[in-house]
Structure 1
Amino acid sequence: MKVSIIAALGSVLSLTLANFVTFHPNRIVAGKPFSIFESAGFAGAIPLILMLATILYAALSKSRGKWRWYVLGALPSIATALLFFTAGQAATRLSLEASPIVRVSLGGGFWIPLLLLPVILIDAIQNMGDWKLPSAAGLLSAIFVAILFASGFMDDLSLMKEYANRADRFIAELITHLALSSTAVTLAVLIGAPLGLLAQRRERLSGPTFFTLNVLQTIPSLALFSILIPLIAALTVLFPALKNAGIGAIGSTPALIALTIYSILPVARNTYTGLRAVDSAMVEAARGMGMTPGQRLIKVELPIASPIILGGVRIALVQAVGLTAVAALIGAGGLGTFIFLGIGQSADDLILLGALPTVLVALAADGAMQGLIKIVKPKGI
């Protein structure tokens, strides 16, 4: 439980000592930091501090009583929800009777506990081996936080003001981001899975195949974009029909090609590894039953190898979600648009408007794929 102790102690210290929010007279001027006591008031700060102190006490305790696991399994999620509530409360208090152009941004006293509380929760789950209590607490806390945002309680935060100013564009860029990453991974599966199968069936091809894919994987994303742009531009000149079909050197075409290239390796490698991991005795038994090679592949090998293959798809999907943000640099759109706009305008909250959803989408994709892997995993494996 050393991890929980360090994380809980870090949460308490950062919440009480670091600036909780920063008040900006406008979007450009440097702001004034406020502690949680100054911004949320003692009445708003004390419940959250006491909750974190309780988590720290439970992490330090050597008791094996159930109360300890209840605290470490449920309170981190509840404290996270209370952290959001306190942040919204602080922003509202500071924005009262202030100009509409003021900005209240979140500080280290918010972000550090937000990052450390899940660490405590994960550590508790690993030690408890029980997901029921943490899952219930997490679901209820997520619903509570969603209500806070939906009700407008968090609207005085600078991040939400950035969202309000760009709500329509945000939805469009989010859809673009999801479309690019999911399409790239779909294409990678259609290409990578057959390559992995071919490499497993023809072992002499595995070396050249994975050497080529590894070389492509090592090319930096911006360099690959830079290579693809003139190549696609030359092709559109040679074949005007491509341009008429909407294919251009700038935008989604080079982004989709690059994302697909990066996604092929984990799919192909895990397909190859998964099929090789199938017990040869099971394959021989299927052959003895009169199954054709195609039947053996579909009914025996793929079901057994599916958890490993889907593990490669999971890696490819999470990787694609992150790399799609970089594709905004070549006009492909996506959540990276806000990141680079924020960098250009030195607007931290605009950067977060693109970065935070990207992280959340990646985490959601990872969680969904892990759940799918557990569902398809054959019993006894």
Structure 2
Amino acid sequence: MKEREIRPENWTLLFKLVLLLYVTGSINLSVSGLTGWYTAAILLYISLDLFTHIMRSVTMQRVGAAVSVLFIIAISYELNPILTLLIPVNLHKLAVPMLRHPAPVLLLMLAPILLLPKELYASYGLAAAVSYLFLAVLSVYADKSRAYRSTLESIREEQYRLKRQLQESLEHRRQSEYMFKLEERNRLSQEIHDRIGHSMTGALIQMEAAKRLYATDAVRSAELLQNAIHISKDGIEQIRQVLKSMKPLNEQLGMNRMRVLADEFAATHEMETQLTHEGDLDRIEPLHWRIIQQNVTEALTNTVKYAEATAVSIHIQVLHTMIKASVSDNGAGASKVIKGLGMIGMEERTAAVSGKIIVDGSKGFTVTTLIPLASA
């Protein structure tokens, strides 16, 4: 959504129009009334202001303001002194670039009052003061608006940079994972070839030799078959050792998935997310990890939808007889919890392994999953 830009020139032009309407009305109510000369002078003044307004050059704008001041002085002298009420706003445009301090600017705007009839002192002083206050407030507001737009643009650039950096990091992560898989496949292939392949080849040679000697030397053939059996057993044991070394622990699989879940949630929702754990996580079975992950995901979804929180914490604790997984936020909480489909699904999943769900909305919102340990 594009922000509306505050243009001080437009507001200044509107303020000049209000002053001009006041001056025109005062002249029209006077004894002389609004004659053709007044109308021509006012139209010429409006033309000068519009010309100054559309000029992009700052120098030309100042020249236009100076010409407007001189023109107002001339028509005030020839037609009506009340037209001098249009001078202060034009003097302000000339004075501000040269006089940085506000007091000299105000004094310069009030200076023409010395040349006016006494009956216009109050009107001119009020017009000068109102013009000064209006333009000063407008200048401050415009400066704040420019600073806001500049800050917003910087934030957008930083957001774009971080988004691009995140995309590059994700791409690097995908490439790293792919290279890791290739390296792991290569290592596994080499290990199978060096260890298991040699054993199987040796056993095959022994069996081929036993087959040839079976008719002529049964004793020797039996010895070769026995050797082949031993070699095959060793090969099977080596296969078990290789597979065992490859398979990660349940703890590593479960916590890695939970870390990925927490990181993705924090990056997607810009919410401070903390993941902690304690106890022997290796006692948690794969089925329990799956239930915990699903319940934590549902609890985080509810936090985004209803909690109005800025931070959320995930804590997994292995006690003596059970597993405790809780999701807590610092949101508004709720005195009465209404169970939806998500909460009912959490209870059903947990009840399938004889566990239960506890919900507390007194301080923020906390959803706790309790699962008994299989060995308890």
TM-score category, normalised to shorter length: under 0.3
Which has the larger share of strand? Answer: 2
Which has the larger share of helix? Answer: 1
In the superposition, the TM-score normalised over structure 2's length comes to 0.23
Please identify the structure whose Cα radius of gyration is greater: 2
In the superposition, the TM-score normalised over structure 1's length comes to 0.22
